[in-house]
Structure 1
Amino acid sequence: MTAHPRLSMNVGTIKYASFDESLRVLVDAGYESVGLWREPVAEVGLAEAAKRFGDSGLRLSTLCRQGFFTMAEGAERRASIDENRRAIEETATLAAAGAEGSRAVLVLVAGGLPEGSRDLVGARDLVADALEELAPEASAAGVTLAVEPLHPMYASDRAVVSTLKQALDLASPFDPAVVGAAVDTFHIWWDPEALAQIERAGREGRIATYQVCDWATPLPADVLLGRHYPGDGVIDFERFTRAVEASGYDGDVEVELFNADIWATPHDEVARRTAEAFADAVAPHLAVRTATAAVG
């Protein structure tokens, strides 16, 4: 089958594919868009990765990921801010190399509670401080910083931003082209305010990316790896996708799956299965159009 024109696969779905193999798999499967990760890019080198990415004919939906700045001021925090600066440069470079409609969106995961801390509010303040420092550089580079709220089960060790409202509140002091939010069904499906916050995000122009995967229980021992193909769990993709569409978002839709069984499956098969699941669960609720303008 031909992949839906707005379907993007985040290469975290085929974690063990090399940079070149991930591009080949998606091109062969008829995808038009990809969400890249920084680590495979680093293995190739940014300049060479940009060239190979440009040659692939794919467009960029996002670059994953940076953030992780919930630590007190000091050498560790300075190193984290510097790493975010490098990630901004990488995002701009790769988006410029990608096909028409590439989006210069850098996904940010806030980071968990500082070691020994129980102060969630204070940790979110540290995220706000980091955004204030990085926003001028993102703006100059034409990059949108996408704050991604993660499910509350990750609040202690991975992301103190747990709801779309919290992400939008953090983004609100900044130009929407500079700081927006990631809408990921896996992380917000449970939230009774999620639909209202999607409407708010659309009104404010802050949906930087829409990511889809499903939730099913029981969760694995490593709860990071509990993501499933759309349609294999309990998430109402019709409701969420229609809300995102009504918000005015017209970009690519990423499938991002962290799942040990999927990672162990041949990559070509994962690409095919992802396209089929997307076609059944998500595509019926999307307008068939391709993003033609870069974000940022």
Structure 2
Amino acid sequence: MIHPRVSLHQVAVIDEPTAAFLDFCRSIGVQHCTLAAPRLQSDTDRAAARDSSVRIGCINHLFAVHPDLERDTGAAVEGLLHTIELAREIGAPSIYLLTGGRGALSWETAAQRFADLIAPCRDAAQKAGVALLVENASPLNADIHMAHTLPDATLLARIAGIGVCVELHACWTEAMLRDNLADALPLAGLVQVSDYVLGDRSTPCRAVPGDGAIPLEAILRDVLDLGYRGLFDLELVGPRIAAEGPREACTRSARYLSDMLDRLGA
């Protein structure tokens, strides 16, 4: 039986229909998942999400990519308001965001621009009972995101008045990581888990937990000791996942993470 706090991200099998992904989750015993907003635009996909026994823990949404925070003229707000309505319809309690790139703005100016743009969406999300989260992501995603360390994501969340999605793949090398987690986790609505094999240079370059160098058990022990009570989301994508086969990699990941959470007493 897979631990009930394990979640699986749709990105691993993004080309499959949502119904097929949800059936796969159920078949391997995963009870929660994260869905990608672009896959929820059809009535069929939304019906599958509403009707599935697998609970939708979160939706992934790209915010200001029209084309970036500096030049967005309102499409970002319109798009997120639409995703908030989708979340309400399918019963998803949260949406995690990539911010959009900074353009020519300084980080501080871009952060305020993000906060100003997201303000009406934050109010709509609160009314819908949906939490908005911003994640930390690799600097190689600077074209679509502006928060590239966990402290930066936490600061941005506070400026915007929203929560945090903690992406361990993007922060495991940071100094004072336990302190950074202690600061972020009171705002956290999701923790994302994968591994990294030293020497991989592609992006994305995720690996099945246990196959790489990230000291996941020690980090997750800290996450749990610091009081986090939410889901652990497996976000698996990249050449290693494709080479093994996404379904095989997801199954192995879910079992590995489940066993670890059991050992840690989650």
TM-score for both structures, normalised by structure 2:
0.89
The amino acid that maps onto 1:38 is: A
1:11 equivalent in structure 2: 10
1:187 equivalent in structure 2: 170
The amino acid that maps onto 2:151 is: K
Stretches of structure 2 that go unaligned for 5 or more consecutive residues are none
Report which stretch shifted further, 124-133 or 26-35.
Answer: 124-133
2:99 equivalent in structure 1: 110
Q: Which residue of the other structure, out of 137, 140, 143, is the alignment partner of 2:130? A: 143
Trace 1:1-296 onto structure 2 (pairs within 5 A): 2-42=1-41, 44-45=42-43, 48-68=44-64, 70-72=68-70, 76-95=72-91, 104-114=93-103, 117=104, 119-154=106-141, 156-172=142-158, 179-202=162-185, 205-221=186-202, 223=203, 225-263=204-242, 265-281=244-260, 283-287=262-266
State the Cα RMSD in Å. Answer: 2.2
TM-score for both structures, normalised by structure 1:
0.81
Aligned residues: 264
Please give the alpha-carbon distance, in whole angstroms, between the structure 1 residues aligned to 2:261 and 2:12. 17
Distance change >3 Å, CA 189–CA 39, structure 1 → 2: same
1:39-61 per-position Cα deviation (integer Å, ceiling 9, x unaligned):
2222x32xx43432233211112
Please give the alpha-carbon distance, in whole angstroms, between the structure 2 residues aligned to 1:78 and 1:161. 21
Stretches of structure 1 that go unaligned for 5 or more consecutive residues are 96-102, 288-296
Report which stretch shifted further, 143-152 or 269-278.
Answer: 269-278
Please give the alpha-carbon distance, in whole angstroms, between the structure 1 residues aligned to 2:114 and 2:160. 13
What's the offset of the Cα at 1:265? 4.7
Please give the alpha-carbon distance, in whole angstroms, between the structure 2 residues aligned to 1:286 and 1:109. 32
Report which stretch shifted further, 234-243 or 26-35.
Answer: 234-243
Which structure ranks higher in relative contact order (CA pairs < 8 Å, sequence separation ≥ 6)?
A: 1
What's the offset of the Cα at 1:118? 6.3
What's the offset of the Cα at 1:124? 2.4
Please give the alpha-carbon distance, in whole angstroms, between the structure 2 residues aligned to 1:271 and 1:169. 32
Give the percent of matched residue pairs that are identical in Structure 1 and Structure 2: 23
Distance change >3 Å, CA 126–CA 118, structure 1 → 2: closer
What's the offset of the Cα at 1:153? 3.4
1:234-262 per-position Cα deviation (integer Å, ceiling 9, x unaligned):
11112221222123221221100111342
| Secondary structure, counterpart of 1:65 in structure 2 | strand
What's the offset of the Cα at 1:65? 1.6
Distance change >3 Å, CA 38–CA 118, structure 1 → 2: closer
